[in-house]
Amino acid sequence: MTSVRTVFVLLTAWSAFAADFRVIEQIVAKVNEDIVTTSDLARARVQLEQQLRAEGLKGAQLEKTIKEEEADILRSKIDNLLLVQRGKQLDIKVDSDVTKRLAQIQAQQKIADQDKFQQWVRDTFQMPFEDFKAEIRNNLLRQRVISQEVSSRINIPTAEARKYYEKHKDQFIRQERVFLREIFLSTEGKSDKEVAAIEKKAKDLVARARAGEKFADLARDNSDAESARDGGRTPPLKREDLRPELRDIAFTKEKGYVTDPIRTDKGFLIFQIEDRHGAGLAPFEEVENEIMEILFEPKFEPALREYLAKLRQDAFLQIRDGYIDTGAVPGKDTSWKGPESLKPETVTKEEVASRVYRKRLFWLIPIPGTSIPKESSSNPDY
């Protein structure tokens, strides 16, 4: 028999354990079949801070911005889950795009070996490769859903764009400038033999571009310049910004023209003329797409929030007390209903007595070719 002293010791030990007990992971929100946890929110806050630091914020300004934006972290997590779930409902396929995106990243990092590339992902992003791949898939799903369900439904009539143009002509006074894409092949630290091979590669790339391959793809996969990430696109350039051997070509050749490789002290440069603006007021046709983007922006965010509100309205959504979804739909009950709030179903004696059951003859086993005998009328119901 357990002594009183033993019970006292056990209770004391349990009290000490309970006093030191901390919840290190907790579900914050249930979003249909998915969940958001405290660690999800913590990771998102770290990513937010890293992004703001990369943008140059620091000190008091950094802390102020983090405080302003972290209030929407839970909203963003719920938004993302709802969009991915919607993408799956719509049966949107992005596997080929995921493969292409991974190949682009691998090419940009110039890592030919697949195992080494996966290790680079783990080291750089501090996550398993499969998780990284899943994040790319989810990002693509969200983009496709937004494009298909929101962006494509925002209509801006040409008349509205032209009206904006007439009222804001001062915005479209242009200096003479050219828009280029570039491919840069570095020769720094290379031997004469390696430089010769790089020159041959440059000439091959020119031939491929002139034969019809997309210059942006060639730049993305081969260029050593930072612009490779954006398909080789450079900022708009004026005459005085260009090297002499390129200046006349850029302002006289037709759009789409691809230069021969230009040798520099650091490597070989190849340019494609993407567009060119003359000096003075740009014609409406030249800036129509730019105006459409200007008019699109203020319409997009409200349309997206309206769409996400509808997804919330139709979703199974519960938020734990103490957390706030800043994208909540007015009138929708998202109160937390954990196991502790569930009431067991109770039945009274009278209800049990009123139920009618048929007696089951468990001892009767059907034999092939025979039938189970019917119950005798004398068998009572109970």
Q: What is the pLDDT of residue 15?
A: 52
Q: Assign 247 a pLDDT band (cuts: 50, 70, 90).
A: confident
Write the CA distances from 285 to 174, 253, 281, 289, 346, integer angstroms: 14, 21, 12, 8, 74
Cα–Cα distance for residue pair 40/48, rounded to 1 Å: 12
Q: What is the dihedral of CA 271, 274, 278, 283, to 10 degrees?
A: 180
Share of the chain above pLDDT 90, in %: 60
**Taking 70 as the threshold, does the pLDDT of residue 355 lie above it?**
no
Q: What is the pLDDT of residue 250?
A: 86
Mean pLDDT calculated for residue range 41-66: 90
- Between helix 73-89 and helix 129-149 the angle, nearest 10°, is 80
**Taking 50 as the threshold, does the pLDDT of residue 376 lie above it?**
no
Contact assessment for residue 31 and residue 78, using Cβ atoms and an 8 Å cutoff: yes
Q: Assign 214 a pLDDT band (cuts: 50, 70, 90).
A: very high
- For the whole model, what pTM was predicted? 0.67
Share of the chain above pLDDT 70, in %: 82
What residue ranges do the domains of the chain occupy?
176-278
Cα–Cα distance for residue pair 326/255, rounded to 1 Å: 48
Q: What is the pLDDT of residue 276?
A: 85
In CATH, the number for domain 176-278 is: 3.10.50.40
| Residue 80 identity | N
The per-residue pLDDT for range 95-125, each reduced to its tens digit, is 999 998 999 888 888 898 999 999 999 999 8
Q: Assign 175 a pLDDT band (cuts: 50, 70, 90).
A: confident
